[in-house]
């Protein structure tokens, strides 16, 4: 088992594993993991796992058998090597003729006997664009002769030139460093290219045998790449898991393959370089990854595909406005700054409502409490006016151009009013209300605003913010 098992691969792997201290023979075809109890355990599985006693000698089928472990470790009969199956904890276990069928979300195929690892390398077409491969080599040729003699040369650059400075981030109180680099592979085989250059994203950490941590890092890596590409259908090839040798260098321990990742490459987005390149966020990768790991960075609104991102329905409308408000509250934790007179009036109103709260009970009291919370909250319109004040100089030209194409002018207060009204129509099911046409333009610009707020939060330079949004949304501005 040296590589990922593909769907068209008809090979079946077998071996032995233990679950809940009971030995099973496993059968794995790259999708389904089947556990076959050994002869001495058949009766136990049948009467204690798959059946529930209702009276002495009387049983009914147990339909609530759950997976209690997050991974199972097996040993392959074919090559004697270790394989780790990552399971869906608390998922139902089905059965067929006493064979347990377990849901698998991924598997680690080990190529060495070492159990501890300290690095995982991520590969994929998006990573090749985020950290461009073409920056890793120079080429030369004689223009007057290359067409006749076909001679040209390619020289790869040194590792330290094509590798980024490691940045640290934190995952569940564990320190991890992230770095991009370009790997080189040479081959003399006829069916392989002589030179293969490929960008990778490396996560390094203190050596551990915590297999669950690997899966955690994999999902964080995918979310990070999704954030940089503004879509969820990221192609993640099997990741290389490595252990450290005595000389401090790494050697491959195995490959991690996650299930249901057979995503087709979205060629149109890749060809247009629709992504935020690493150079635009250089030095801030660790901050972004820390917030992804702690679920602080809002990415729930990302479209499934680039094509989906070109279409707006009610759910996407609400999610994008939710992303804006989430990031606004991160950027302005104390809300929109207010005049002293406004604060005094709000305090008087809150005091008046507090008296009503103290003298009321039941539902009426809850209503007064709700109204009290609303007094200091900012409206979407007020928040967008503040964004106009602070971000127009950074990305306002994108908005002005977008609105001018439609014969309109960008006015942040009007933008906020339209977005708020249309969102309320969707949220409250008022489908009989006509769609506010300009709200679609507002929402498109709001997507740029969300990224600008997110990047500004990490103190990324305004020039890099503009360039990143220009490339991510393929706006074709000459900056």
What mean pLDDT comes out for the span 365-393?
Answer: 80
313 vs 415: CA distance, rounded Å? 18
CA nearest 5: which of 288, 238, 339, 301? Answer: 238
Q: Is 133 in the same domain as 280?
A: yes
Q: Count other C-beta atoms under 10 Å from residue 68's C-beta.
A: 11
Does 204 map to a domain? yes
CB 472 within 8 A of CB 275: yes
Residue 350 pLDDT level (bands cut at 50, 70, 90): confident
Residue 436 pLDDT level (bands cut at 50, 70, 90): confident
CB 271 within 8 A of CB 301: no
Q: Count other C-beta atoms under 10 Å from residue 422's C-beta.
A: 25
Cα distances (Å, whole numbers) of residue 388 to 19, 382, 384, 392, 437: 58, 10, 6, 5, 21
- pLDDT confidence of residue 317: 92
Q: Count up the domains in the chain and report the number.
A: 3
Q: Is 274 in the same domain as 392?
A: no
3-state secondary structure of 22: strand
7 vs 138: CA distance, rounded Å? 38
Q: Reply yes or no on whether the pLDDT at 472 is more than 90.
A: yes
The first and second tokens of residue 412, run together, are 């942040």
Does 466 map to a domain? yes
Q: Is 403 in the same domain as 281?
A: no
Q: Is 166 in the same domain as 285?
A: yes
- pLDDT confidence of residue 184: 81
CB 167 within 8 A of CB 77: no
Does 304 map to a domain? no
CB 281 within 8 A of CB 164: no
Q: Is 418 in the same domain as 462?
A: yes
243 vs 273: CA distance, rounded Å? 33
Q: Is 321 in the same domain as 289?
A: no
Does 30 map to a domain? yes
CB 152 within 8 A of CB 138: no
Q: Reply yes or no on whether the pLDDT at 250 is more than 80.
A: yes
The first and second tokens of residue 397, run together, are 């030209």
Rounded to two decimals, what is the model's pTM? 0.87
5 vs 456: CA distance, rounded Å? 42
- pLDDT confidence of residue 400: 95
Q: In terms of DSSP bridges, do strands 51-55 and 58-61 run parallel, antiparallel, or are they unpaired?
A: antiparallel
Mean pLDDT estimate for the chain: 87
Does 345 map to a domain? no
Does 363 map to a domain? no
Does 368 map to a domain? no
- pLDDT confidence of residue 10: 52
Q: Reply yes or no on whether the pLDDT at 298 is more than 70.
A: yes
Widest Cα–Cα separation across the chain: 95
| Radius of gyration of the CA atoms of the chain, in A | 28
Does 373 map to a domain? no
The first and second tokens of residue 455, run together, are 């990047």
Domain that includes residue 102, residue range: 13-110
Q: In terms of DSSP bridges, do strands 99-102 and 94-96 run parallel, antiparallel, or are they unpaired?
A: antiparallel
Q: Count other C-beta atoms under 10 Å from residue 200's C-beta.
A: 20
β-strand partners of 179: 202
Q: Is 123 in the same domain as 210?
A: yes
- pLDDT confidence of residue 46: 86
């Amino acid at each position: 088992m040296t590589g990922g098992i593909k769907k068209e691969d008809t090979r079946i792997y077998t071996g032995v594993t233990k679950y809940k201290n009971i030995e099973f023979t496993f059968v794995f075809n790259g999708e389904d993991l089947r556990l076959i109890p050994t002869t001495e355990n058949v009766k136990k599985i049948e009467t204690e796992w798959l059946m529930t006693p209702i009276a002495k000698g009387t049983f009914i089928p147990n339909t609530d058998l759950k997976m209690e472990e997050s991974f199972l470790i097996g040993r392959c009969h074919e090559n004697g090597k270790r394989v780790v199956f990552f399971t869906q904890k608390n998922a139902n276990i089905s059965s067929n003729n006493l064979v347990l069928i377990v849901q698998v979300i991924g598997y680690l195929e080990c190529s060495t006997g070492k159990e501890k690892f300290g690095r995982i390398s991520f590969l994929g077409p998006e990573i090749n664009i985020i950290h461009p491969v073409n920056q890793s080599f120079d080429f030369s040729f004689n223009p007057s002769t290359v067409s006749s003699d076909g001679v040209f040369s390619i020289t790869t650059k040194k590792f330290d030139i094509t590798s980024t400075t490691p940045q640290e981030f934190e995952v569940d109180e564990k320190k991890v460093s992230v770095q991009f680099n370009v790997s080189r592979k040479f081959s003399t085989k006829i069916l392989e290219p002589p030179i293969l250059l490929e960008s990778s994203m490396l996560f390094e950490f203190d050596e551990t045998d915590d297999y669950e941590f690997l899966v955690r890092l994999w999902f964080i890596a995918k979310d990070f790449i999704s954030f940089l590409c503004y879509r969820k259908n990221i192609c993640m090839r099997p990741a290389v898991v490595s252990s450290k040798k005595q000389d401090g260098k790494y050697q491959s321990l195995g490959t991690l393959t996650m299930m249901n990742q057979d995503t087709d490459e979205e060629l149109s987005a890749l060809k247009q370089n629709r992504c935020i390149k690493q150079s635009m966020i250089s030095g801030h990768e660790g901050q972004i990854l820390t917030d992804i790991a702690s679920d602080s960075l809002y990415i729930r609104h990302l479209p499934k595909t680039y094509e989906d991102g070109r279409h707006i329905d009610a759910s996407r409308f609400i999610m994008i406005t939710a992303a804006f408000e989430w990031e606004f509250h991160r950027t302005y934790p104390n809300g929109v700054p207010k005049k002293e007179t406004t604060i005094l009036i709000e305090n008087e109103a809150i005091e008046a409502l507090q008296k009503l709260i103290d003298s009321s009970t039941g539902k009426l009291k809850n209503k007064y409490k709700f109204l009290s919370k609303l007094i200091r909250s900012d409206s979407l319109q007020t928040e967008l006016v503040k964004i106009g004040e602070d971000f127009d100089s950074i990305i306002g030209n994108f908005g002005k151009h977008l609105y001018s194409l439609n014969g309109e002018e960008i006015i942040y207060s009007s933008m906020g009013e339209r977005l708020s009204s249309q969102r309320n129509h969707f949220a409250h099911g008022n489908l009989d209300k006509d769609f506010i046409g300009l709200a679609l333009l507002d929402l498109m610009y709001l997507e740029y605003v969300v990224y600008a707020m997110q990047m500004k939060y990490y103190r990324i330079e305004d020039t890099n913010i503009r360039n990143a949004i220009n490339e991510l949304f393929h706006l074709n501005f000459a900056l």
